[in-house]
Copies of this chain bind each other. A is one copy, B any other.
Amino acid sequence: MPMTLRLSRNETDAAEIPAACDAAAAQTINGRLRALRDFSSRERFARNETLFNEGQRADRIFKIISGTVRLCRHTPDGRRHIADFMLPGDIVGFAEFDTHPFTAEAVTDLTLSAYPRARFEQWDSAGPELRAGLLSHLASTMLATQQQLFVLGCRNAKERFASFLLRMADRTDTPQGERLDLPMGRQDIADHLGLTIETVCRVITSLRGAGLITAPNTHQLILNDVAGLRALAEGIATLAA
């Protein structure tokens, strides 16, 4: 979420509608990217490959087509923090200064489109819609980052994990009872939530014991009780078990 834009489902969908490819559409972010199609390149990365490293020059904008990316930073002594995961439709690398503030790695096999940033930022042709779209996206990215800050600042392990699940379900439009895909491993989740892998495992066990979730397999969870999870995430409820 930091330094990146996340497109709302609506806009992403709209971007796929050919009819939207007119002059007005070029004034949205996705419209602008579409206008740069001829300058873009489709690329693939294998699991755990690096898209770019922290400090590297940020001259391209990436739009995730399929797969998941993690944005992470490292401490000199080897600890890792995952600022956020980027899902299909998300855009990486737009809001940075000239260098990337984090490393981007493929969590799964990955397909993306890369656009030259310099062209994207030729503002001369940018209309008020694009400007509004950019500010609005920056604001929502900001909001998400601030939310995560709140989570790390105030909440315990179960609350953090519940927040994470709810956000993932929300981002992927997964309703209660459906299988929620978690493409990242436990260690990634732990590094995102400021916990250890063992604690994440224990929390999952505990939530499963409470009936809030079901775990068909390692990378899929079913949220049985979204309201309960929300109560847990908000700190309204505590888990007896």
Rounded to whole Å, the gap between the CB of A212 and the closest CB of chain B is: 18
CB closest residue in chain B, given A195: B153
Distance, CA A139 to CA B5, complexed state (A) = 11
| Copies of this chain assembled into the complex | 2
Docked Cα-Cα span, A132 to B134, in Å, equals 12
**Cβ of A35 under 8 Å from chain B:** no
A95–B220 Cα distance when bound, in Å, is 36
Q: Which residues of B contact A95 (CB under 8 A)?
A: 135, 138-139, 142
> What B residues does A152 contact at CB under 8 A?
149, 152-153, 194
A75 to B191, CA, bound (A): 23
C-alpha gap A165/B129 in the complex (Å):
41
A52 within 8 A of B: no
Instruction: Let me know if A142 and B149 touch, CB within 8 A.
Output: no
CB of B3 within 8 A of CB of A150, answer: no
Q: Which of these binds chain B: A14-22, A40-48, A77-85, A173-181?
A: A77-85
How many residues belonging to A are interface residues under a CB distance threshold of 8 Å? 45
Q: Which residues of B contact A216 (CB under 8 A)?
A: none
Encode contact with B along A212-228: 1 for CB under 8 Å, 0 otherwise: 00000000000000000
Contact indicator A142/B145 (Cβ below 8 Å): yes
Contact (Cβ within 8 A) B77 A235: yes
Contact with B along A1-31 (1 / 0, CB 8 A): 0110000000000000000000000000000
Q: Given that A75-B234, A150-B83, A154-B75 are known contacts, is A138 also in contact with B145, CB under 8 Å in the complex?
A: no
Per the bound structure, the CA–CA distance linking A142 and B134 in Å amounts to: 14
Q: Is A143 a contact partner of B101 (Cβ separation < 8 A)?
A: yes
Q: Are B145 and A149 in contact (CB under 8 A)?
A: yes
A166-197 contacts to B, CB under 8 A, are 191-194
Instruction: Judge if A59 is at the interface, Cβ distance under 8 Å.
Output: no
Q: Which A residues are closer than 8 A to B by beta carbons?
A: 2-3, 73, 75-77, 79-81, 83, 95-97, 101-102, 123-124, 128, 131-132, 134-136, 138-143, 145-146, 148-150, 152-155, 191-194, 234-236
Q: List 28 A-B contacts (CB under 8 A).
A: A2-B145, A2-B146, A3-B139, A3-B143, A3-B146, A75-B154, A75-B234, A76-B234, A77-B235, A83-B150, A96-B139, A97-B136, A97-B139, A97-B140, A101-B146, A102-B146, A123-B132, A138-B142, A145-B145, A145-B149, A149-B149, A149-B152, A152-B152, A152-B153, A152-B194, A153-B191, A153-B192, A153-B194
